[in-house]
Structure 1
């Protein structure tokens, strides 16, 4: 065989081998099983972003009731657990010196009233004397005018001086009456002050509440609690429990979503109760130590079943998206990155779709662009899948659960 014939034979054999290999590959691909993938349907749903926090119930308001004045406890009519209405008497102090002040101030008022009566009598007397002096001067002056030289000039001057003196006396007693009236006002003010101080000997409840602690007993010496630096002992501690506060430490990342009036679900496991409330107020300031913002929820407690100190699990509804296009969370690759995509199955073939997402919940994610309602997307792991791959799409077993938010 010549070299030329050998080359041609080798080429023919090589071509036969290649054709055979290609046919084998196509046959193998045709006989390989198609990959079965779970899919879910992109559909409208109402998504909500909930923040779950633990919080402790606190009284709506709580205060240590102090005494305004110092004294001994004469009687105390409440104890721990007693429910008292506003202005109810909690305790009565015995303060003899204040009682003496009241009696002294009352006597001062009576003395001032007597001074006023005396001044009024003196005015009547001075007014009568002024009228007589004025009448006498007028008569003498008339006679002297009618019959010149009949009345000596000295008598006219004496009558005039008596009139002036009587008028001055009247003005003096009028001033004395005003002074007596001012003295009475001062005495009455002192009496009212003494009575007010005496009223402080009766200690009353500042609001409707329950006595949570009792500090004093009958005979205890109570100091006046009028200074923040005083070591005065309170009488009782009073808490308002018909409304309780829940203080939620909202993380700084969720602060922007907190608004007054937001609904919250409260789960109190210790008493097996589920309640609903609203955000009543928030600090509008982040604590630097914890990077949280105190947010308060007022919870009505008319039956007293909830007790301060109990813990509750609070679901704070930060945001909601009604009727938005969404898919299960594991249908999107690259969440949180700049390249997010979903694997869409159409006619048994995979098509990669770049998507833009919005609100995320623990189960689903909002699709802003890239998908349409009714699209079938692959859920779960996407390793080894590629654009154009033929697959056998089957509904995911959990799709019914993940679409329950719709």
Structure 2
């Protein structure tokens, strides 16, 4: 009887402990089930980054200036000192022409100048003689006139009239001598101008370089007859073709939709694969005119080429920076949901609840988008699978790292 009571007492004491263990196990399973039901969500923080929009274009180098060098006078090539590929300096003699008739004209003008100077000397002497004669005759007339006035009747009227006539005639001779001297001066100026003109024409027998450059073609040889390149009705042959290659123009066809971003001074990265060079330039000029045929605007970049390592005609790939936004609020593009013109996304608040948010976008890159309104720095946004989440739903955020800078590169016509 005593053994039965002890057994029943032990069973009574053990039963509550078993019930307690069972209850704890059930609560743990419920908590694990609740945790398993909370979905995870990949989120990214709203940060301030830099977004750049660039445009890649293929361009071609052109000489800064290129010109056919003609002779201004007709003649035979006496000497030619350059050939293709030669580097020349401004003012350097490229060729010398032989023009015999021009030499004769020059000698004639020199003689005419000398003759005109002699004529001036003769006219000056004639003027001096006429002035001296007039001075003597005028003095004689004045003395006779004074004597006649002092003693009337002393000097015959006829003698007085003859003296006055000679005085006036001598005065006229002085005026004529002055006119002859002026005519001689004018003739000397004409002869000097003619001599200067012929001398200038004679100087054109020496064909010189108008600027520093490279001879890219030679059209004349020694003994060839060269026509003067001053008449438009004759197809004259140039002596050489000269290219200024120490400075090149890189011409780029900018598409119509990018014209609004083109401005002088904009930086351009240039890659020349033919010589393995990368350089930095700036937009110097553009046509401000869109071609109807290609819908592009010609834009030029000046590139220094002192060592002539770049050749006109080479191709280059250029990267133009169209837009750049620094220190702006950004979100990953995959976080943005667009519905027409409206953009929205899902934000996870501090309590890990999902909240829809309408936003306004600015510049968009390849991975990031600028947010101009609707978000604050540090907000967390869901970056994928937005359709799986409901407003107010609790989620377990998984933070994703995003790029700190983003460059969106657009390929233009001919870009690689």
Whether TM-score is above 0.5 comes out as yes
Instruction: Identify the match of residue 98 of structure 1 among 98, 102, 113.
Output: 102
Instruction: Identify the match of residue 284 of structure 1 among 276, 284, 288.
Output: 288
Shift of 1:138: 2.3
Q: How does 1:243-322 map to 2 (within 5 A)?
A: 243-322=247-326
Give the paired residue count.
375
Q: What secondary structure is seen at the aligned counterpart in 1 of 2:264?
A: coil
Shift of 1:332: 1.2
Give the corresponding residue for 1:19.
none
Q: Would the alpha carbon gap of residues 381 and 243 (structure 1) be closer, same or farther in structure 2, given more than 3 Å must change?
A: farther
Note if 1:363 corresponds to 2:367: yes
Shift of 1:219: 1.5
Shift of 1:40: 2.7
Distance, in Å, in 2 between the alignment partners of 1:404 and 1:170 is 96
Deviations 1:141-195 (A, max 9, x none): 2333344333322121111111111110011011100110011011101111111
Q: What secondary structure is seen at the aligned counterpart in 2 of 1:155?
A: helix
Shift of 1:34: 6.2
Shift of 1:111: 1.0
CA contact (8 A) 2:39 2:396 kept: yes
Deviations 1:12-41 (A, max 9, x none): xxxxxxxxxxxxxxxxx9798766554332
Q: Would the alpha carbon gap of residues 305 and 395 (structure 1) be closer, same or farther in structure 2, given more than 3 Å must change?
A: farther
Distance, in Å, in 1 between the alignment partners of 2:40 and 2:99 is 92
Distance, in Å, in 2 between the alignment partners of 1:62 and 1:360 is 43
Give the corresponding residue for 2:117.
113
Shift of 1:349: 4.5
Distance, in Å, in 1 between the alignment partners of 2:387 and 2:220 is 74
Note if 1:175 corresponds to 2:179: yes
Distance, in Å, in 2 between the alignment partners of 1:220 and 1:33 is 98
Deviations 1:196-239 (A, max 9, x none): 11111111111111111111111122222224453111111111
Q: What secondary structure is seen at the aligned counterpart in 2 of 1:271?
A: coil
Distance, in Å, in 2 between the alignment partners of 1:200 and 1:306 is 33
Q: Pairwise CA RMSD of aligned residues?
A: 2.4
Distance, in Å, in 2 between the alignment partners of 1:109 and 1:173 is 21
Distance, in Å, in 1 between the alignment partners of 2:165 and 2:46 is 117
Q: How does 1:28-39 map to 2 (within 5 A)?
A: 37-39=41-43
Higher mean C-alpha deviation, range 298-307 or range 34-43: 34-43
Give the corresponding residue for 1:65.
69
Give the corresponding residue for 2:335.
331
Note if 1:49 corresponds to 2:49: no
Distance, in Å, in 1 between the alignment partners of 2:310 and 2:38 is 60
Structure 2 segments unaligned to the other structure (5+ residues) = 1-32, 408-416
Q: What secondary structure is seen at the aligned counterpart in 2 of 1:334?
A: strand
Distance, in Å, in 2 between the alignment partners of 1:221 and 1:327 is 74
Shift of 1:304: 1.7
Q: What secondary structure is seen at the aligned counterpart in 2 of 1:167?
A: helix
Shift of 1:92: 1.2
Distance, in Å, in 2 between the alignment partners of 1:386 and 1:82 is 77
Q: Would the alpha carbon gap of residues 73 and 356 (structure 1) be closer, same or farther in structure 2, given more than 3 Å must change?
A: same
CA contact (8 A) 2:50 2:405 kept: no
List 4+ stretches of structure 1 deviating above 6 A.
29-34
Q: What secondary structure is seen at the aligned counterpart in 1 of 2:342?
A: coil
Distance, in Å, in 2 between the alignment partners of 1:236 and 1:229 is 20
Q: What secondary structure is seen at the aligned counterpart in 2 of 1:306?
A: coil
Give the corresponding residue for 2:345.
342
Distance, in Å, in 2 between the alignment partners of 1:225 and 1:360 is 58
Give the corresponding residue for 2:84.
80
Give the corresponding residue for 2:414.
none
